[in-house]
Structure 1
């Protein structure tokens, strides 16, 4: 403890003139002069801290350096010679309490001053240093003596000042100190591949975040407080161990992209239908058996991945997602395609392969923007002529089904570069119209018991088409 004998109580000699002897109000501007915490009298201070005396709102505002312990400090106070102050200026005080100082003159008039404590924000440099030390096994390789942070890997700053992005992928970082919320301009944080077991809840306090990527960790849950991130636009959580998504995600209405593929999620919460600004929803390789009907509210989604789940049916509401261009539903347990599929007129890529689908609705003919269509490895017994109206197709896979014939209308698909008709064991004839597909690069006919291949189809080999067929099938 520094000696109290070093405390200085300043005095001023002045003449107070009052126009009204009956007025007992204290002329405070003449009585309370200065309020300072001197570093040489307070062990916890490295520099003097000056308070701002406000005579209008009768307050003393003191701004301390970040994390200063204010529980036992000594103030040096300058008052007029004919005034007194309470608490006394030669005593240590706990400034965590709501202190009020009272200045009194000889005639008994007085004025109270409320103490208002403020703390300067922690520097972003010191926040990242604290983060560095919180992860002693990290592989960041930051030079902590470089306070400019200019050469720190993964640290992005705006105009060389505020930290705006952190790319910390596979850097063995798992712990985030409470001070991390002080990165008030951080908009993009990538911490994928760090074997993180627990979602750092402090991240939900970094409210400036717009892009948050935590894929390829070991996260088992997401905190309900995720909706604190009201500015979030991209949330990437793929390749974790998540079993559910909190319903509060529906409150982050600015979300545009969600990636939750390769987890153990069983249910998409109905609140996901609140995310009307969503454009990409990737939830493949989970255990999802049902899709909430509210999915139809997501009319701005252009890309929806649901492959490798446990869906037995596609709710018709999915066909209300009229902006869809990419729809992935392969490797589920689907038995039918809803006829409402025809409403998705913007679709360019549709993958329904490896399900249990038995038929194709004729409404598929309205999907005239389709570029790729996969129906492979189903139980389809009839391929409708309407497939021939999808003239923008460049990729068509009908292999591994139970079709008894191929429609001649496939010859209309002259933009095709890939056509798989393999392993349809009930087909014996190939339409000669397939010979019209002069842009074909690959034609798969393996496993189709054809009597012959029409000569004009064989002639496609002369223009660069590779035909993969059963051995010994003649051209004629």
Structure 2
């Protein structure tokens, strides 16, 4: 009985506990999913797109679900990757790079599965560029000897083309290159006997006009003459062959390659000179020029330029463009400072700056490493310019009438020197360093103050010609016989009273000039040697051979 009571009590207890648990269990709440599906931002970031240089943000219009953006001209929009920001818990598709050459639909899906479609349109700006890049007459289109390319001046939107002298300009077909996306008019064959205006229209409709002027080389020559009304050229314009015009030469194709216009009374060289593109030699010496046109720099095929005996004080900066120039003559002008534009002429071989007003040479002078011949005669140098010693290939140096009293140390650096002219200076001796000039063949020391023959002269192994006339030399030493190569000796107008017989017996001398010396009698060895054919002894009539005395 007690056991039954306990079992019943336990059952009641379990029932009570079960009822208590059911009463405290909370209700299960099902969450509501978001229906937000807005596109809030659409951007092309430069870091994600190699076609861009900066970020581009699109305009999102929520009302009609459109996205629009405009990219700069030339942008490749075939594979752009956008950064898209949408509502929280929403997603967007497609992802990654897309081709935006046509509108792309992006779908934004809300958390609850509902969607919104956005149409994304990307456009590329039309170019505002309306430039003429090149203008040419092609050989194949016009039957010319070569392609003729125009010189474009972007400051005044003009183009110049130069044809050879007798080209017919009335029916020429040009080839134009213009800005991308642009167009031009007129098209096709044109009459270029007068200037023609071309209009280049950009993609956005803006325009630029270019005036095309086509002239022949004959026209250029006439322009030079017309710029100098007092010229003495005497050209006959009725003569169609310009090779018959004085000073004008053409090459096998009919282009002007040489102009010898020296001493024709020219005071101005007009811009047209620069368009004679095949000019190799230009001679303008002995005129009245005070300046050169900037267009001189266009003569990049020029090899020889003669400007001596004018009134030039400076050179235009464009002179540096004469990269082919080998020979430059600037003597008898008014240069007070060395024109540093010459430093850029790295192919220059011969330079003449004699008879100017130079007092020194600048430190950059040694840039002229190709220089073979240098003439600095007749300049008021304060001292011998040691910058000359930095010219490793100098073969000939003229430094006469400059008041030189002595050769400075460093002369031995000119070890390629073959010809040295030091006439009309104040030299009375020569340094032993001269011995290092083992290539020296000609040495002129006329009209200095030598009273003796410097010993170093007799050790110059390749010296063949020596000028010592118009000095104060009283004696030729017997050691002159040590001169192994001497062939010509000018020693007239000195104070010699005798000539050593060794000149006739131990040397290879074949020309001897001794006029103007108080020499009464010559050794028979001298007279006998110079009696042979092609041997010359130039003496006074009062100087006789010993056997004739």
What range is the shorter-chain TM-score in?
Answer: 0.5 to 0.7
Are positions 1:206 and 2:312 aligned together?
no
CA deviation after TM superposition for structure 1 residue 52, in Å = 8.3
The separation in 1 between residues aligned to 2:459 and 2:409, in whole angstroms, is 16
- SS of 2:424 mapped into structure 1: coil
Residue in 2 that maps onto 1:128 = 221
CA deviation after TM superposition for structure 1 residue 318, in Å = 3.1
- SS of 2:489 mapped into structure 1: strand
1:111-143 Cα shifts (integer Å, max 9, x gaps): x68758584654323222222211222222333
- SS of 1:316 mapped into structure 2: coil
Instruction: Choose which of 43, 57, 70 in structure 1 pairs with 2:180.
Output: 57
Residue in 2 that maps onto 1:100 = 202
Instruction: Choose which of 534, 537, 544 in structure 2 pairs with 1:442.
Output: 537
CA deviation after TM superposition for structure 1 residue 211, in Å = 0.7
The separation in 1 between residues aligned to 2:337 and 2:393, in whole angstroms, is 24
The separation in 1 between residues aligned to 2:257 and 2:368, in whole angstroms, is 25
Residue in 1 that maps onto 2:283 = 190
**TM-score computed with the length of structure 1 as normaliser:** 0.66
Residue in 1 that maps onto 2:431 = 338
Q: 1:395 to 1:127 in 2, by over 3 A?
A: same
The separation in 2 between residues aligned to 1:444 and 1:259, in whole angstroms, is 35
Q: 1:428 to 1:59 in 2, by over 3 A?
A: same
The correspondence of residues 273-292 of structure 1 with structure 2, limited to 5 A, is 273-292=366-385
The separation in 2 between residues aligned to 1:54 and 1:347, in whole angstroms, is 58
Q: 1:442 to 1:54 in 2, by over 3 A?
A: closer
1:377-436 Cα shifts (integer Å, max 9, x gaps): 334566444321224333323455567976554342242321428547xx9997676456
1:57-93 Cα shifts (integer Å, max 9, x gaps): 31225699699586xx8x6xxxxxxxxxxxxxxxxxx
Are positions 1:247 and 2:340 aligned together?
yes
The separation in 1 between residues aligned to 2:311 and 2:176, in whole angstroms, is 53
Residue in 2 that maps onto 1:260 = 353
CA deviation after TM superposition for structure 1 residue 301, in Å = 2.7
1:145-170 Cα shifts (integer Å, max 9, x gaps): 45553432222222243221111122
1:181-203 Cα shifts (integer Å, max 9, x gaps): 11222121111222334444542
The correspondence of residues 307-456 of structure 1 with structure 2, limited to 5 A, is 307-380=400-473, 383-399=476-492, 409-411=502-504, 412-420=506-514, 423=517, 434=526, 437-438=529-530, 439=532, 441-442=536-537, 444=539
In terms of fraction of residues, the more strand-rich structure is: 2
**TM-score computed with the length of structure 2 as normaliser:** 0.59
Are positions 1:458 and 2:546 aligned together?
yes
CA deviation after TM superposition for structure 1 residue 315, in Å = 2.5
Equivalent pairs counted in the alignment come to: 383
- SS of 2:312 mapped into structure 1: coil
CA deviation after TM superposition for structure 1 residue 255, in Å = 0.7
Gaps of 5+ in 1: 1-18, 29-43, 76-94, 103-111, 462-474
CA deviation after TM superposition for structure 1 residue 230, in Å = 2.1
The separation in 2 between residues aligned to 1:299 and 1:66, in whole angstroms, is 53
Residue in 1 that maps onto 2:233 = 140
Kept in 2: contact 1:60–1:115 (CA 8 A) = no
Kept in 2: contact 1:155–1:165 (CA 8 A) = yes
Kept in 2: contact 1:53–1:60 (CA 8 A) = no
The correspondence of residues 26-105 of structure 1 with structure 2, limited to 5 A, is 57-61=180-184, 68=195, 100-102=202-204
Q: 1:61 to 1:124 in 2, by over 3 A?
A: farther
1:267-298 Cα shifts (integer Å, max 9, x gaps): 34443332222222223233334332231233
For the aligned residue pairs, the C-alpha RMSD in angstroms reads: 4.2
CA deviation after TM superposition for structure 1 residue 332, in Å = 0.5
Instruction: Choose which of 295, 305, 313 in structure 1 pairs with 2:398.
Output: 305
Instruction: Choose 219-228 or 275-284, whichever is displaced more.
Output: 219-228
Residue in 1 that maps onto 2:32 = none
CA deviation after TM superposition for structure 1 residue 256, in Å = 1.0
1:424-473 Cα shifts (integer Å, max 9, x gaps): 7xx9997676456345633547999xxxx8xxx434x7xxxxxxxxxxxx
Kept in 1: contact 2:361–2:387 (CA 8 A) = no
Kept in 2: contact 1:223–1:246 (CA 8 A) = no
